[in-house]
Every structure is written in structure tokens, then in C-alpha cells.
Copies of this chain bind each other. A is one copy, B any other.
Amino acid sequence: MATISDIARQANVSRTLVSRVLNNKAGVSPENRKKILEIIEENHYVPNSLAKSLVLQKTNTIGVVMDDLCNSFFFKLIAGLQDAAESHGYNILFCSGQKDMATRLKYVDYLTGGCTDGIIAYGSCFDDNELFRYLAAKSANSVLIESNLSDCATDKILLDNFHGAYTATEHLIRQGRRHIIHVTCDMNYAVGLERLNGFVQAMRDYKMPLGPDSILYADHFEKIAYQQMQKRLAHGTRPDACFVGADKPAFGVLRAAMEAGLSIPGDLAVIGFDDDEPDSKDMLFPPLSTMRQPLYEMGQAGVSLLIDKMNHSDREPVVKSFDAELVLRETCK
């Protein structure tokens, strides 16, 4: 690979002149500029980004830490992050993979070890709190998405899960549904708890019956919700509406209900949370009503906030909250 010195040598000028040409600065005669540009072109020369970042103390790279890249739930978030980063002239370095905490802390060490200007961490799993705290302590330029750790003085992007869950439940109640249950998503995540709380609050406010049968505990995937709902339909009283803490388990609920011969949404109305399945509208399931989480916008906002913070390192931490939006499709009108 050619270096700036190679170019300078070939052009019979100093490195300084080449650097000025590269960065479109004044102080180069037209002839020299032309000659240098030609030689750059000939050699397909591209400045070494490491050297540049080292001297400028600026990498134009944002590190992103998340549980798992391989989950369709993250598509919109990733797209939002990528688009915003690109439009600001930043690259993104993804670090993911569900590893033990020691490994994940090493990721943070790596990302804060010079190769990024700032870090965005996504997640609300309680197990990750240690990670977030470590990150916040190490890097002044960091943004948490979904995690509302009060002892981390970083910028935060949040979703109002409580309000979203309240809205969904309220909608079911106002529809005249009488036997409403909630299938939770993973309770190891703050979002799971918040959504459950929103459901309970709405039920209480409207004086709806709330018993031990009103809540089924599941996780972020389809299977357990399916099994729980199957068991419930076999034994318990039949619900006529179900608010589910996420979309994937909502599909599990739908599957159990349909296999049990229930008509959707006649016998059972279902509202999910997230709007995470890009293809769901095309699938054989009835299109799922859900609380749309604006993950794309949240990703964008995370990047904006981070870049703003890097430019105003002295400003107070900002918390930006988003609202989920009720999207009515076939499973609940």
C-alpha cells in the first residue's frame, strides 16, 4: 500500500503538500496540485485511516454494543443507526454476541481504546446493568437506548413502555372486552416489567378483574407464550382479549388460539408490542395489531445525541423519551 511519503516522493514534493491536497487546503500551486492528484489517482492511494485518526484524535466511528445482531427485532434499530451515522459522516462498529460479562466488558475496553469516538449501548436486561455502568464510567461519550439506569449520567433514549402498555390495555377495555389477560415478555428486562405495570394500572383504573389468572409469564420468543396460552385455553376460563408484551410471543399466542379453534379477533383480540416483524403482514397469520416502537427513530436519535454530546462535552445529560403508537390490524380492530 502506498503511503503519503510515496506520493510525495513520486511528485518530488514534501508530505505537507500532499496532505494539503488531500484535505483541500490552500498553499499548493495549481501545477503541483494537478500533479499530486494524478499520482494519487495512479496509485489508487487512500490515506491510512489509523494514522489519521491517531493524529487527529478523531475516528469518525461510533461503537454499538448490543446483545445480538441476529434478531429481526433489531433491523429497524440498526437501519436507524446506520442511516444517521452515514448522514453525519460516521462509521459504525458493531459489537454483539451474548457472551459472559467478562468478555463483554472487554468489548467496552476495546471500543474505548481509541477506535471509536463514542458508544451507543442498547438493551434493558437487568443482567446488563453492570456493563452499562462500566461503559458510563469509562466513556464520557456514550448513549444508552432502552436502559434507564439512574446512576448512569449518560444520555438516554427511552420508550415509554408503561404508557404504551396502558394504551393497549385501555383500547381492549374500551372495545368492551371483559376477560383481558396479559402475556408478558421476558421479565429479566426492564421493558417487561414496565409493560406489565402499564397493564396492571390500566386494569385497576378501569376496575377490571385482575386475578392470578390474568397474567401469563413468557419471554421474547414464540415458544413459551404458545405453550402458556395452550395450557391456559385447556384449563382456565377463556379470555376474550390478550395484550402481549412483545410481537414474537404474540404470534405464539395467536398460534395457540387458532389451533384451539378460536376466531381472531372475534373470540380473542390480540395486541402485541414492538411491531418488529417486517414480514408479518405478508404471513399467513392475521396481521398483528401492536404497539409500534419507533426503533428506527430511536436509533437515529441515539446517533444525533451522541454526536451532539461529542461537540458539547460539557452539557448536561439528555433523556429523550419516545411513545409507542397503537397500530390496529386484523387481530384487534
Contacts and interface: CB of A to CB of B under 8 A. Distances in A.
A110 interface: yes
14 contacts: A1-B114, A44-B138, A46-B109, A48-B113, A48-B114, A50-B54, A69-B82, A70-B75, A82-B97, A91-B110, A222-B282, A226-B282, A248-B279, A255-B282
Contacts of A115: 49-50
Interface string A206-222: 00000000000000001
Interface in A50-97: 50-51, 53-54, 59, 69-70, 72, 75-76, 78-79, 82, 86, 91-97
A284 B282 contact: no
A112 interface: yes
Given A48-B114, A70-B79, A93 B93 contact: yes
A223 B49 contact: no
A82 B96 contact: yes
A86 B110 CA distance: 13
A69 B78 contact: yes
Given A258-B284, A284-B285, A112 B53 contact: no
Contacts of A222: 279, 282
B72 A69 contact: no
Interface string A240-254: 000000001001101
Interface residues of A, number: 48
Query: Which 7 residue pairs are nearest across A and B when measured between Cβ atoms?
Result: A48-B114, A70-B75, A46-B113, A50-B114, A50-B54, A46-B109, A49-B113
Contacts of A50: 50, 53-54, 59, 114-115
Interface in A29-51: 44, 46-51
- Work out how many copies of this chain go into the complex: 2
A102 interface: no
Contacts of A59: 50
A73 B300 CA distance: 24
Given A47-B113, A70-B75, 12 more contacts: A46-B110, A48-B114, A50-B59, A69-B69, A70-B76, A86-B97, A91-B95, A91-B110, A254-B284, A255-B282, A255-B283, A284-B285
A51 B49 contact: no
Contacts of A82: 69, 96-97
A172 to B, nearest CB: 23
Contacts of A54: 48, 50-51, 54
A79 B94 CA distance: 13
Indicate the member of A48, A50, A94 with the most B CB atoms within 10 Å: A50
A46 B106 CA distance: 10
A94 B72 CA distance: 17
Interface in A268-289: 279, 282-285
Contacts of A70: 75-76, 78-79
A283 B86 contact: no
B96 A51 contact: no
Nearest to A285: B284
A110 B49 contact: yes
A85 to B, nearest CB: 10
